[in-house]
Structure 1
Amino acid sequence: MTTPRLVVVRDRVATPALVVSFGLLLLVGVAGESAAKPGLGPRGWAPGDLVWAPAPALVTGLLWAAYLLGAVAVWLRLQGEPSVVSGVGMLGAVAARSRRRLAPGGWAVPVALGVLALLTGPFGSADHTNYAAYGRISALGGDPYLTPPSAWSPADPVVSGVEPPWTDTVSVYGPFATLLQTLTSHLGGSNVRETVWCWQVLIVLAWLGVRFLLLRSGATARRVDTLWTLNPLVFGIGVLGAHVDLVAAALGVVALVLAARNPLAAGLLAGLAVSCKVTYGVVGLAVLVGWWAHERASFTRRALTFVAAAVVVVAPLHLWAGPHVFDQLDRARRSISFATPWRLLYELLTGPLTSGDARTVVTWLAVAVALLLVVLLARLTRGLAPGTATGAAVRWTLVLSTAYTLAAPYSLPWYDLLTWATLPVLAASVLDTILLVRLAAMAVAYVPGRVVGMTPTVERVSLWVRRTPVPYAGLLVWGWLTLAATRGSSRTSEPRPPAPGR
C-alpha cells in the first residue's frame, strides 16, 4: 500500500526527475560527436548537430545521470500503480476511462518527444552506422551477409563510416531488417546522415505504434506511459539509440494484438518480426501457447493459418537474402559480453580449461538457467495477464523473451525492448521493479557506448563498471526473481477475469 509520505515524494520528485532525464538524453543527442555519438558527416537535408561536443568524461556523466534519474522516476511512478489493470482485448470501463484521459492532449507529449528525437543523432552505440552500411551494400547490389564493410570500396562515404569492432563483420540481422536498411539507403543515397535519419523515422513510428497498440488493446494509459512512452531508459536505449530491436518489437506487438481476430495477419507480422531478428520467434511460439490454452477447439485451424502465413513471409525474404543469412549469427552465438554474470564464470574457467571448452560450459549452463528462468517467470506472472488467448500470448512472450535476455551469455540493453513492450499489459507486480533494476544496470554498463573516442581514464572506468558491479547486479536479478517466484511475491490479488465475449 502506498503511504502518504511516498505519495508526496513521488509527486515532488518523479516528474522533475523525468524532465531532467529526458532533457539530458536529448542534449547528448543534439550535441556534436562524442564518445557516445559517432559523427555522421555532412547533414544534407537532415537535421544537424550543435557545435558543442561534450568531452568523454562529461558525456559519460550526463548519460549515467540521465539513466539513474530516469530509473528512480519510473520506480516512483510505479508505486502508484493499482494491483490489477485491464488487459488485451478488454474494452470495458477501465479502457474507456483510459482513452478519455488521453483525449484531447494524450498524444501531445509522445508526439513531441518523437519530433525531438528526430532532431537528434543516434548515440549509445555505433550500430546505426552498421545498418546504413549494410543497406548501402545491399542497395548497390552486394551481399551484406557475405561482404563485410572493410571489403567494400574504401571510398564509399557510407560503408567507410562503420566503426570498430564491426568493420570486418558481416550482417547479423534478418532479411526484413536488411530490406528496411536497403530502403533507407535508397532514400539517403551516399549521405550517411540522411540515411540514418530515414532509419530514425522508422524507429520513432515503431515506438509510437507500440503505444497506440497497447492503449487500443486495453492497458491503462498510466501504465503504458510509465513503462514505455515516458520511460527514459526505453526512450534513450531504444529510440535515441535507433536500434532495430525496436522495429522487431513493434512487429511482435502487432502480431500479438491481431492474433485473436486474424490469425492470417498475425502470422504475416510474426514472420516479419522473426525476419528482423531470429530471437523474436518467441512471439510465434507464445501465440500458439495462448491458443492451446484458451482456444483448444479451433487450435489446429488457427495454428495452421498462422504458421502458413509466417512461412509465406519468411521463405521469400530468406531466399532474397541468400544462403549466407545465418553465417554471422552462427559465429556470434558463442560470444560472452562483459556485463553478464557469465563473464565472471568464463574468466574463472579460462586457464583450467581452454577458451573453447570454457565457452561450451557457459553455453550449456546458460541453457539450463534460461529454462529455470522460464519456470520462475511463468510462476511469477501467473494471474497478471487477462484470461484470454491474447493475454496468455502476451504473458508467454514476456516470459520467453525475458528468460532469454536474462540468461544469454551475450546480452545488451536493447535486447530488453520486447520485454518492456509487453510488460504494460500485465498487472503491476514486483516484476516491474526487478526488470527496472536489470534495465538500469545494463544501460549504465554500456555508457558511453562507442569503443573509440574515449580517454584512457573514461575507458578504464566504464570497463570497470561493465565488468565488475553490473555482472553482480545480474546475479542479484536472478536471485530476486527466484525469491519472488518461490515466495509468491506478486502484488496482484487475484487472477484477471476473461474478456466478456469476443
Structure 2
Amino acid sequence: MSLEASVGDRRRSPVGGMPRRLDIAAFGAMGLSVAVTVLIGLLGPSAMVPRLPGPSWQPPYSLDVPVSAHLVIAMGAAAIVLGGLGLAAALRSRWRPEARWLLMAGCATAGLLAFLPPSGSADHLNYAAYGRLVTLGQDPYAITPALLPHDPVTGAVEEWAGVTSVYGPVATAVQALASLVGGDSVRLTVFVMAVVNAAAFIGTALLLHRFARGDEELRGRAALLWAANPLMIYHLGAGMHIDTLAIACMVAALTVRGAASGLLLGVGIGVKLNAGLVALGPAWELRRSPGRLAVVAGTATATVVAIYALAGPHVLDQVSAASKKVSLATPWQLVKVGFQSLFGPGAYSAWIQIGSLLLMVCLAWLLLRALPAGTASGDTAPAVAAAMVVAWLFAAPYALPWYDGLAFALLAMASWPALEGFMVARVAVLSLGYLPAREALRPEDLLWMKTLLRERVVPWTLLALTVVLVCWAARAPGRARRRRASAEPRP
C-alpha cells in the first residue's frame, strides 16, 4: 500500500483533445456551483449560515448582507443541482483540464472557505460547544450544552443543544484545542476548527494526487472526485463537517505501510467510529501476508483501544443510541412508516437494524464481485474499502449527505467509473432533501421541502437507485466475462 507501489507501472494516457460544448458546459456548471457556495458564506448570516457570536474583527469574515431565506435556499439548491449535473458530465467527458489545475483550484477554494462562516448546517456550533465543555472541565459525552445555557459558546447551539457528543475522542480533542484558542468567542473557535478542516481537505487532495502519480487518467478523476468536486466543497469545505478529518486519516492510512497504516486507521476511527469500515480494505489486501496483517491490525486495535479507554466506555453510549435512529430521507423511513401502518405505533428499530445489516452484507458481496478488473492483482485496499463504505451508505437507516465524502475519497483512489455515477446521483438527491438543514429558519411556505421532498421524494428516489445498484452489481461479473471473451483472439 505504499505510494511507490500504489499505481505500479500503469501509464494511461490523459484525457485530451479539444473541449466540446458539453465539456465546457460541464466544467462551467461545476465552477458556477462552487462560486454560489462561496457566495452563500460571503453574504453572511442567513437561513443557510448560522450567526457566529464574537468580536467582528475576528475571522471568519462576511459581508453581513441581509438575504431572504427563499433566495439563499434557492442558491443552495442551485449549487447542488449545478454541481451534481456538472460533475456527472465531467466524469464522463473525453476532455478535462490538467489534474494539477483542478487540484490547485479546489485547494484554493477550500482555503478561502476557511475564512468565511460555515454554511449548510449548524453542526459547527455543536463542535464548538463540545470543545467548550472540555475546557470548562465537563464531559461532553455525559453533559449536554443545554445544561449551560448562559455560556456564550454552549448557549449558541441551535437544534442539538440537548444531545451529548456522538463524535470520537480525537474529534473532541480537536474541538477542545479550538476552544482553548477561541475562549468565549464562538467566531474564533469556529475559525480554528475551519483551519483544521481546510488543512484536512487540502491534505487529502494532495495525498490523492500523489497516490495516482504516473496515471494521468486516475489523477484527473481523483481531482474531480475530491479537490474540485463541487458537492464535497459544498458539504465538507463550506459545511466544515468533522468527517473531513476522519477521511484525511483514512486516505493517509491507505498510502503507507505497516504500523503507520494501523496507527492512522486507529486515529481515523477515533474521529468517527464508522470510518473503521475502511480497515477492511487493508485487511483484505494483506490476507495472504499474516505477519504484515498482524502488524497493521494490532497497531490499529491498540490505537483504538487506547483512544477510547482514555475517554471512557460511556463515549459509545450516544453512538449506540444514534445507530437505532432512522433519518427521514432514507428508504428505511418508508419501511418504518409501513410497519407502523400494519402493526401500530413503534420505532421497529430492531427489525430495521437487522434489515439494514442484511442489505449491507448483500451489497458488499455483490460489489466485491464487481471489483474493477485492474484491482485483481494490484492495489486492492482502496477498491475493497470503497465497496464496503458504499454498501454501508446505501444500506444505513441513518444517513446525511456529508457522510458520502468517505466514499468519494476512496473512489478517487480506485478506477471505478460506474460506482462513481451512483455516488454522484445519491449525494445530489440526498443533499436536496436536506435543504436548508436548519429547520428553525425554513420559511413556513417551504414546509413541503420536508414533508414532500425529504420524507417522500428523496426516500423513493434513493430506493430506486439502490435497486438499480443491486441489479448493476449482480450483472457486472457476467459483463466482465463477456468482455474478456470477446477480447480473446479467435483461432
TM-score under structure 1 length normalisation: 0.87
Please give the alpha-carbon distance, in whole angstroms, between the structure 2 residues aligned to 1:336 and 1:139.
33
The structural deviation recorded for 1:155 is: 2.0
Code of the aligned partner of 1:229: A
Q: Name 1:9's counterpart in structure 2.
A: 21
Residues 201-350 of structure 1: pairs in structure 2 closer than 5 A: 201-218=195-212, 220-258=218-256, 262-292=257-287, 296=288, 299-350=289-340
Any runs of at least 4 consecutive aligned residues in structure 1 with deviations exceeding 3 A, and if so which?
100-103, 105-108, 354-357, 489-494
Query: 2:380 is paired with a residue of what secondary structure?
Result: helix
The structural deviation recorded for 1:476 is: 1.7
Q: Does 1:170 pair with 2:168?
A: no
Q: 1:242 to 1:203 in 2, by over 3 A?
A: same
Aligned equivalent of 1:437, options 412, 425, 428: 425
**Identity of matched residues, %:** 31
Q: 1:464 to 1:383 in 2, by over 3 A?
A: same
- Kindly indicate whether the alpha-carbon contact (under 8 Å) linking 2:264 and 2:300 is maintained by their aligned counterparts in 1: yes
Please give the alpha-carbon distance, in whole angstroms, between the structure 2 residues aligned to 1:384 and 1:74.
24
Q: 1:321 to 1:354 in 2, by over 3 A?
A: farther
The structural deviation recorded for 1:386 is: 6.6
Please give the alpha-carbon distance, in whole angstroms, between the structure 2 residues aligned to 1:237 and 1:334.
24
- Kindly indicate whether the alpha-carbon contact (under 8 Å) linking 1:430 and 1:491 is maintained by their aligned counterparts in 2: no
Please give the alpha-carbon distance, in whole angstroms, between the structure 2 residues aligned to 1:318 and 1:37.
33
- Kindly indicate whether the alpha-carbon contact (under 8 Å) linking 2:408 and 2:420 is maintained by their aligned counterparts in 1: no
- Kindly indicate whether the alpha-carbon contact (under 8 Å) linking 2:336 and 2:347 is maintained by their aligned counterparts in 1: no
Q: Name 1:52's counterpart in structure 2.
A: 65
Aligned equivalent of 1:426, options 389, 397, 414: 414
Q: Which of 485-494 and 240-249 deviates more?
A: 485-494
Code of the aligned partner of 1:189: G
Please give the alpha-carbon distance, in whole angstroms, between the structure 2 residues aligned to 1:13 and 1:419.
26
Q: Does 1:200 pair with 2:194?
A: yes
Q: Alpha-carbon deviations, 1:216-237, whole Å to 9, x = none? A: 1126331112111111101101
Q: Name 1:149's counterpart in structure 2.
A: 145
Code of the aligned partner of 2:71: L
Q: Does 1:64 pair with 2:77?
A: yes
Q: Name 2:10's counterpart in structure 1.
A: none
Aligned alpha-carbon RMSD (Å): 2.4
- Kindly indicate whether the alpha-carbon contact (under 8 Å) linking 1:123 and 1:449 is maintained by their aligned counterparts in 2: no
Q: Does 1:379 pair with 2:369?
A: yes
Residues 27-38 of structure 1: pairs in structure 2 closer than 5 A: 27-38=39-50
Q: Does 1:112 pair with 2:108?
A: yes
The structural deviation recorded for 1:10 is: 2.3
Q: Alpha-carbon deviations, 1:81-109, whole Å to 9, x = none? A: 69xxxxxxxxxxxxxxx9x9566x67542
Q: 1:15 to 1:357 in 2, by over 3 A?
A: closer
- Kindly indicate whether the alpha-carbon contact (under 8 Å) linking 1:398 and 1:423 is maintained by their aligned counterparts in 2: yes
Query: 1:452 is paired with a residue of what secondary structure?
Result: helix
Please give the alpha-carbon distance, in whole angstroms, between the structure 1 residues aligned to 2:255 and 2:102.
21
Q: 1:263 to 1:72 in 2, by over 3 A?
A: same
- Kindly indicate whether the alpha-carbon contact (under 8 Å) linking 2:110 and 2:233 is maintained by their aligned counterparts in 1: no
Q: Does 1:41 pair with 2:58?
A: no
Q: Does 1:160 pair with 2:160?
A: no
The structural deviation recorded for 1:74 is: 0.8
Q: 1:348 to 1:384 in 2, by over 3 A?
A: farther
- Kindly indicate whether the alpha-carbon contact (under 8 Å) linking 2:129 and 2:157 is maintained by their aligned counterparts in 1: yes
Q: 1:150 to 1:372 in 2, by over 3 A?
A: same
Code of the aligned partner of 2:30: L
Q: Alpha-carbon deviations, 1:473-492, whole Å to 9, x = none? A: 11121121122123328799
Code of the aligned partner of 2:296: F
Please give the alpha-carbon distance, in whole angstroms, between the structure 2 residues aligned to 1:123 and 1:283.
28
Q: Does 1:362 pair with 2:352?
A: yes
Residues 88-127 of structure 1: pairs in structure 2 closer than 5 A: 107-127=103-123
Code of the aligned partner of 2:452: W
The structural deviation recorded for 1:253 is: 0.6
Please give the alpha-carbon distance, in whole angstroms, between the structure 1 residues aligned to 2:374 and 2:244.
24
Please give the alpha-carbon distance, in whole angstroms, between the structure 2 residues aligned to 1:67 and 1:159.
31
Count the aligned residue pairs: 461
Aligned equivalent of 1:180, options 150, 171, 174: 174
Q: Which of 186-195 and 371-380 deviates more?
A: 371-380
Q: 1:11 to 1:102 in 2, by over 3 A?
A: closer
Q: 1:112 to 1:203 in 2, by over 3 A?
A: same
Q: 1:308 to 1:483 in 2, by over 3 A?
A: closer
Q: 1:355 to 1:291 in 2, by over 3 A?
A: farther
Query: 1:14 is paired with a residue of what secondary structure?
Result: helix
- Specify every segment of 5 or more residues in structure 2 that has no aligned partner in the other structure, as ranges: 1-15, 485-491
Q: 1:114 to 1:263 in 2, by over 3 A?
A: same
The structural deviation recorded for 1:28 is: 0.8
Q: Which of 213-222 and 59-68 deviates more?
A: 213-222
TM-score under structure 2 length normalisation: 0.89
Please give the alpha-carbon distance, in whole angstroms, between the structure 1 residues aligned to 2:151 and 2:238.
26
Query: 1:35 is paired with a residue of what secondary structure?
Result: coil
The structural deviation recorded for 1:40 is: 0.9
The structural deviation recorded for 1:323 is: 2.9
Code of the aligned partner of 1:377: L
Code of the aligned partner of 1:475: L
Q: 1:202 to 1:120 in 2, by over 3 A?
A: same
Higher relative contact order (CA 8 A, sep 6+): 1
- Specify every segment of 5 or more residues in structure 1 that has no aligned partner in the other structure, as ranges: 83-97, 495-502
- Kindly indicate whether the alpha-carbon contact (under 8 Å) linking 1:81 and 1:223 is maintained by their aligned counterparts in 2: no
